[in-house]
Copies of this chain bind each other. A is one copy, B any other.
Amino acid sequence: MNDPAATEPRFVLHPEHHLTSSAMLQDVVIGLSDGLTVPFALAAGLSGAVVSSGLVITAGLAEIVAGSIAMGLGGYLAGRTEVEHYQAEGARERREVREVPDVERAEVDELLAEMGLSADTRARAVAELTADPEQWVKFMMKYELGLEEPDPRQAPKSAATISLSYAAGGLIPLSAYFFTATPAQGLGWSAAITLVCLLVFGFFKSRMTGQPAVAGAIKMAVVGALAAAAAFGIARAVSR
């Protein structure tokens, strides 16, 4: 349940191929980060409160299903909203360019002034940028609103990738409870397996985004461990 808007630096203006090639990997990362942490912590929490591994597994599977649907479907609808938003903003800019061209021309001039261009150069640039209405609208969308045209096929792909990654991530910590007799044994194995996975995953995630990899691995494991410890504490306190 990280905030991917903050997780992934926003390479909004990079060439399209850069965005699409890493989009799937980013979705896997989003799904795995949450999938490895939350079901692990929930199962750990319940291990301190119930006597049956079956209950831990039931709750864990319910969480995995709930989480992966909420993430996947939520992501899908959000992607659709992004496409609609882009189209609505595009229509608005197109109308403004047609109906209040002077206002829009002043906005182009203001953007160019912010970049640091002189009044002289701006006058020439504004004339060129506003010569073709389609190009003008594209300029406003990208540089005034900071909006890139979203790929409509991206939303369902993203949703499926995030959903499956969350489920895959969640089944790793939960699997330990399948093969052990008591919740306490399950917790031991679950914690060992999951912390190793969090370290490996944090390492490669940081490598991918160009951050210090060892520090990234440790941070990821610490988040998981803290979430699990807190869940354990509250479940035990409540169940007494």
Interface residues of A (CB under 8 A from B): 1-14, 27, 30, 33-34, 37-38, 41-42, 45-46, 49-50, 54-55, 57-59, 61-63, 65-67, 69-71, 73-75, 77-79, 81-82, 84-86, 88-89, 115-118, 120-121, 124-125, 128-129, 132, 135, 139, 142-148, 155, 158, 162, 166, 209-211, 219, 223-224, 226-228, 230-235, 238-239
Contacts and interface: CB of A to CB of B under 8 A. Distances in A.
Contacts of A5: 4-5, 8
Nearest to A7: B78
Contact of A85 (B125, B158, B210, B227): B210
Contact of A146 (B10, B42, B62, B224): B10
B12 A12 contact: yes
Chain copies in complex: 2
Given A13-B144, A77-B223, A121-B128, A4 B1 contact: no
* Secondary structure type dominating chain A contacts: helix
Contacts of A210: 85, 88
A234 B65 contact: yes
Contact of A211 (B14, B81, B125): B81
Contact of A14 (B145, B232, B233, B239): B145
A37 B13 contact: no
Contacts of A61: 234-235, 238
B235 A59 contact: yes
26 contacts: A3-B75, A4-B4, A4-B5, A6-B79, A6-B155, A6-B158, A9-B86, A10-B10, A10-B148, A11-B147, A34-B70, A42-B59, A50-B55, A54-B238, A54-B239, A59-B59, A62-B231, A65-B230, A66-B228, A70-B223, A73-B223, A115-B129, A116-B129, A116-B139, A125-B125, A146-B146
